[in-house]
């Protein structure tokens, strides 16, 4: 295809306004004219001709280099690749019309092989939008990703080129998030202080009324309350970005994932603590929980179940307490997967929240699909619940919503997981027992199984954990008497001379006491 370089003078006739061209009297001056290039491009699919033209080159050498650059880009495809030929030609036509810089030859070769856009530099925001659009996971998971992208990733790094994103950019982002947290906490402290000051300001008097008016205006002008972005949320932000960038690497858009190397504060995993007598006593005095994750003792669990015997959802609380189902799993358990004759149920789905909306979903992981064995007492509880549900169905008649689920609202429709949590908290408060979360009832089931000396693998399978290490990490704190028994058993394995001497002394003292008692009895 034809291509050429040529000199061009842009001087115009002052009267007509037309370019002088070769008639320009200064044309022969060495530095007066600039050089331009023109390269014929493959015709469009409809046969129409097109070309690449560009001017403004300072000299012939620079213009020739520009023409060679265009020809190198055209040479990236073979004649037997009509699609590639058209892509390169379209790219050069767009670059020429938009006056964009000529793209790098090797970068264009890589993009062409990867099936990527040949024009423009993809920004982080553009890639995140494309990545989210291609995700095929449950709606609640997408919502969590979208929140990370909208609230944090786009505002901080969305404008940056994807291929130039660096670890330092992400460090700056997390530093900014930490600084914002400090600002949020400061604003949260300012509002209560201002409200308290307003409450103590007298109403009477012109000066006081003016002051109250100014204080109200200041309070109204304060920004709305926001939540801080804690360590777990920051870890999730990084995980979201890391997943998005890994997909970009898989599509050969980038070769390095900075999210895999940025350092942020680690999340301290919360350990389950048992409500011992000492902890209960302190809670009764101060109202403070020793840990966000607390577990009842068997006595507490029994007292709670006895207290709520007449509750309509007693069977669900019983099932979670003894078998450790998750909230969503209990709400979404169907009768078709509940075999009371065989003393088992199969967890195959769950009800999850997306905002306040509820949707049916599969278990989050493969380990969530599992068979859970049922004891005789739990089977009896579920049989009575099924009988009551049958009576409810008959009472509602045609208005009954046939969801086929074990636990439902009075009319057979889905339970709302959020409302289930609220109900549980109200029942716990009414019982007078130390507070736990609904999920802690599941923790309690795990602790009970460990206390019963059930193998850790069985406990892990029952809970739906993917690895026994997860079970061990969460439930390091077991019931006190179990820990003491383990400590005593361990201590007995080590023979100590001191212990033997102490035991001999105890036996000797016992024998002497026995002899003294006999002698005293004879004297009487």
Would residue 491 count as lying in a domain?
no
Q: Residue 364: pLDDT above 80?
A: no
Q: What is the structure's pLDDT at 496?
A: 57
Q: What is the structure's pLDDT at 227?
A: 81
Q: How many domains in the chain?
A: 3
Task: Return all residues near 177 (Cβ < 8 A) that are at least 6 apart.
Answer: 152, 156, 229, 234, 237
Q: What is the structure's pLDDT at 494?
A: 61
d(CA 482, CA 65): 81
Which of 260, 290, 311 delimits the end of a domain?
260
Flag the least confident range among 53-57, 191-195, 403-407, 495-499.
Answer: 495-499
Residues 452-477 have a mean pLDDT of 75
Compute the CA torsion angle 415, 338, 463, 280 (nearest 10 deg).
Answer: 60
Q: Are residues 440 and 318 in the same domain?
A: yes
d(CA 351, CA 453): 32
The residue count for the chain? 524
**Burial classification of residue 341, based on how many CB atoms lie within 10 Å of its CB (0-12 exposed, 13-18 middle, 19 or more buried):** exposed
Short-list 29, 3, 2, CA closest to 11: 29
pTM for the whole thing? 0.62
Structure tokens at 220: 């109204």
Task: State the chain's mean pLDDT as an integer.
Answer: 85
pLDDT-above-70 percentage for the chain: 90
Q: Are residues 12 and 110 in the same domain?
A: yes
Q: Are residues 105 and 152 in the same domain?
A: no
Structure tokens at 107: 């970068």
Which of 205, 225, 260 delimits the end of a domain?
260
Q: Are residues 105 and 223 in the same domain?
A: no
d(CA 386, CA 390): 6
Q: Are residues 362 and 418 in the same domain?
A: yes
Most confident range (mean pLDDT) of 46-50, 222-226, 423-427, 511-515 is: 423-427
Helix, strand, coil shares of the chain as percentages rounded to 5? 55, 10, 35
d(CA 45, CA 27): 40
Q: Are residues 283 and 432 in the same domain?
A: yes
3-state secondary structure of 54: strand
Short-list 232, 281, 233, 290, CA closest to 436: 290
**For position 370, which CATH number holds?**
1.10.443.10
Q: What is the structure's pLDDT at 489?
A: 62
Q: Are residues 284 and 391 in the same domain?
A: yes
Compute the CA torsion angle 317, 319, 320, 323 (nearest 10 deg).
Answer: 160
d(CA 114, CA 107): 11
Would residue 461 count as lying in a domain?
yes
d(CA 515, CA 423): 65
Domain that holds residue 471: 273-483
pLDDT (tens digit per residue) in 130-167: 899 888 766 667 888 999 999 999 999 999 989 889 99
Residues 238-245 have a mean pLDDT of 95
Q: Are residues 287 and 248 in the same domain?
A: no
Q: What are phi and psi of 439, to 5 degrees?
A: -65, -25
Q: State how far Cα 222 lies from the chain centre.
A: 30
Would residue 497 count as lying in a domain?
no
Would residue 231 count as lying in a domain?
yes
Would residue 44 count as lying in a domain?
yes
Residues 62-86 have a mean pLDDT of 90
Q: Are residues 203 and 286 in the same domain?
A: no
Beta-bridge partners for 353: 358
Q: Residue 24: pLDDT above 60?
A: yes
d(CA 483, CA 438): 25
Q: Are residues 291 and 416 in the same domain?
A: yes
Which of 260, 293, 318 delimits the end of a domain?
260
Q: Are residues 163 and 15 in the same domain?
A: no
Would residue 92 count as lying in a domain?
yes
Q: What is the structure's pLDDT at 245?
A: 95
Short-list 365, 363, 374, CA closest to 338: 374
Short-list 453, 483, 491, CA closest to 274: 483
Would residue 248 count as lying in a domain?
yes
CA 323 to each of CA 37, 327, 404: distance values in angstroms, whole numbers, following the listed order: 78, 12, 21
Would residue 99 count as lying in a domain?
yes
pLDDT (tens digit per residue) in 474-522: 665 555 555 556 556 655 666 656 656 666 777 787 788 888 877 777 7
Q: Are residues 50 and 144 in the same domain?
A: no
Beta strands, E only, 197-355: 273-274, 294-295, 338-339, 344-347, 350-354
d(CA 56, CA 365): 61
């Amino acid at each position: 295809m034809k291509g050429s370089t040529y000199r061009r003078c842009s001087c115009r006739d002052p009267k007509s306004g037309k370019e002088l061209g070769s008639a320009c009297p200064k044309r022969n001056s060495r530095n007066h004219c600039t050089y331009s290039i023109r390269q014929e491009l493959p015709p469009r699919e409809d046969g129409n001709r097109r070309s690449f033209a560009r001017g403004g080159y300072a000299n012939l050498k620079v213009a020739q280099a520009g023409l060679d650059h265009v020809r190198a880009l055209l040479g990236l495809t073979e004649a037997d690749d009509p699609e590639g030929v058209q892509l390169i030609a379209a790219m050069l036509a767009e670059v020429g019309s938009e006056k964009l810089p000529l793209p790098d030859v090797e970068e264009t070769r890589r993009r062409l092989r990867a099936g990527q856009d040949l024009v423009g530099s993809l920004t982080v925001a553009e890639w995140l939008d494309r990545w989210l659009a291609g995700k095929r996971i449950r709606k609640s998971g997408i919502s969590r990703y979208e929140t990370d992208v909208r609230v944090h990733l786009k505002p901080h790094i969305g404008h940056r080129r994807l291929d130039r994103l660096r670890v330092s950019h992400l460090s700056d982002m997390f530093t900014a998030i930490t600084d914002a947290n400090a600002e949020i906490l400061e604003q949260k402290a300012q509002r209560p202080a201002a409200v308290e000051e307003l409450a103590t300001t007298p109403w009477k008097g012109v000066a006081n009324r003016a002051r109250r008016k100014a204080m109200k205006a200041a309070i109204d002008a304060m920004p709305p309350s926001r939540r801080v972005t804690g360590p777990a949320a920051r870890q999730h932000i990084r995980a979201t970005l890391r997943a998005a960038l890994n997909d970009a690497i898989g599509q050969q858009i980038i070769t390095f994932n900075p999210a895999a190397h940025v350092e942020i504060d680690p999340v301290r995993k919360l350990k389950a603590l048992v409500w011992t007598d000492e902890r209960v006593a302190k809670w009764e005095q101060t109202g403070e929980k020793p840990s966000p994750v607390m577990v009842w003792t068997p006595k507490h669990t029994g007292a709670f179940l006895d207290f709520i015997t007449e509750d309509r959802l007693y069977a669900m609380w019983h099932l979670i307490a003894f078998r450790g189902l998750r909230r969503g799993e209990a709400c979404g358990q169907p009768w078709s997967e509940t075999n009371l004759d065989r003393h088992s149920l199969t967890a195959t789905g769950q009800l999850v929240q997306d905002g306040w909306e509820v949707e049916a979903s599969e278990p989050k992981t493969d380990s969530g699909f599992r068979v859970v064995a049922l004891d005789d007492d739990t089977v009896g509880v579920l049989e009575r619940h099924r009988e009551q549900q049958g009576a409810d169905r008959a009472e509602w008649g045609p208005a009954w919503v046939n969801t086929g689920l074990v636990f439902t609202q009075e009319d057979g429709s889905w339970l709302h997981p959020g409302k289930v949590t609220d109900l549980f908290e109200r029942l716990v408060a009414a019982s007078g027992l130390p507070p736990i979360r609904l999920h802690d009832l599941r923790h309690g089931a795990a602790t009970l199984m460990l206390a019963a000396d059930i193998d850790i693998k069985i406990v892990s399978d029952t809970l739906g954990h993917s690895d026994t290490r997860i079970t061990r990490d969460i439930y390091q704190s077991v019931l006190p008497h179990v820990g003491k028994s383990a400590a005593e058993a361990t201590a007995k394995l080590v023979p100590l001379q001191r212990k033997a001497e102490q035991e001999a002394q105890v036996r000797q003292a016992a024998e002497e006491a026995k002899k003294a008692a006999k002698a005293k009895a004879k004297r009487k």
